[in-house]
Structure 1
């Protein structure tokens, strides 16, 4: 998934980093956050406050 990425991009696009962002957003906004898998090599994970579509893969729900 991250074979062609620079070391910095690889570090910034980890699930752990995305989960940390979701946790921070949840704490600041009091709105549930979802970490989903995108299937896009440059952005393999994404944080969203909207409930993802049924075909999206939810990896974490920060409530």
Structure 2
């Protein structure tokens, strides 16, 4: 991740994804998951669908 710009690094951080998941959970009342993607440009993602691979789940916002 060191090749990413400082802004992209901040926007794609786990902390940012967790904040988005928390906000989505509060607004939609639907559980959210922060998952690891394995992609350098988007290392974490927020989704309402539980991934099949449990190893991808980094946080479950219920």
* Bin of the TM-score, shorter chain as denominator length: over 0.9
Instruction: Report the TM-score, using the length of structure 2 for normalisation.
Output: 0.94
Name the SS for the 1:26 alignment partner: helix
Alpha carbons 1:22, 1:34 under 8 Å: kept: yes
Runs of 4+ with >2 A deviation? none
Q: Which runs of 5+ in 2 are unaligned?
A: none
Instruction: Report the TM-score, using the length of structure 1 for normalisation.
Output: 0.93
Return the structure number with greater helix share: 2
Aligned residue pairs total: 62
Q: Which runs of 5+ in 1 are unaligned?
A: none
Instruction: Provide the aligned C-alpha RMSD in A.
Output: 1.0
